[in-house]
Chains A and B, each alone.
Chain A
Amino acid sequence: AQSVTQLGSHVSVSEGALVLLRCNYSSSVPPYLFWYVQYPNQGLQLLLKYTTGATLVKGINGFEAEFKKSETSFHLTKPSAHMSDAAEYFCAVINTGGFKTIFGAGTRLFVKA
């Protein structure tokens, strides 16, 4: 069965600092991987996704993630945090049947002025 582990339920960074949110997955087949963002009192929206091809994926708002098969990781980064990046971030993987999305527990990002 596929699973997703997000390391750190809370991450705090200063404005302008590097953002690194960690995600590891387990999958018996090549996975499809996603990062979603949830702002307070809203639904989730897609930041970026990896399906096939280039392993470095760029998303909205300056975020990017790199698929590393050898490390079974899909960490999310942004070079310089902005106050508006404060939100909860979810890593997700499509299951082997190719239909159900499995979500991680989420990482809440705090950005300090």
Chain B
Amino acid sequence: NAGVTQTPKFQVLKTGQSMTLQCAQDMNHNSMYWYRQDPGMGLRLIYYSASEGTTDKGEVPNGYNVSRLNKREFSLRLESAAPSQTSVYFCASSQRGTGTGRAPDTQYFGPGTRLTVL
């Protein structure tokens, strides 16, 4: 099993350019997430998908869009990149959503995409 894979590993954009970060998991997980990691701020949730066909905003969704293409794939799109979006982006997946009364499952993370916006 490859687990969670992300492409690309590195990317440099100019302000205003667009790009899509790809994420795929081969663990048959229902739920997938996109986070950004900035120094001193931990991980902040951008968007998540509790199950195939659904997506919801997280803590910092502005400037991003997502698509849950199928159960395996969850992409993150920057329509018009800004320097404030310079960050490391992580995709994660978990076995199931953590509904009321259900113990949460571990999240499995990809290796990350390091994005610089000039």
**Size bracket, chain B contacts:** 20 to 34
Shortest Cβ distance from A89 into chain B, in angstroms?
A: 11
Instruction: Given A42-B111, A44-B109, A51-B103, decide whether A98 and B98 contact each other with a Cβ distance below 8 A.
Output: yes
Instruction: Given A43-B4, A43-B111, A105-B42, decide whether A52 and B98 contact each other with a Cβ distance below 8 A.
Output: no
Report how far A99 CA is from B59 CA in the complex, Å. Answer: 13
Which of B4, B45, B50, B111 has the most chain A CB atoms inside 10 A of its CB?
B45
Flag if A99 contacts B50 (CB, 8 Å). Answer: yes
Partner of B107, one of A42, A101, A105, A106: A101
Flag if A51 contacts B104 (CB, 8 Å). Answer: yes
**Size bracket, chain A contacts:** 20 to 34
* Count of inter-chain pairs, beta carbons less than 8 A: 64
Partner of A43, one of B31, B102, B103, B112: B112
Flag if A105 contacts B40 (CB, 8 Å). Answer: yes
Flag if B43 contacts A44 (CB, 8 Å). Answer: yes
Shortest Cβ distance from A10 into chain B, in angstroms?
A: 11
User: Beta-carbon contacts of B62-104 to A below 8 Å, as 1s and 0s?
Assistant: 0000000000000000000000000000101000011110111
A contact residues vs B (CB 8 Å cutoff) = 4, 9, 32, 34, 41-46, 49, 51-52, 90, 94, 98-101, 103-106
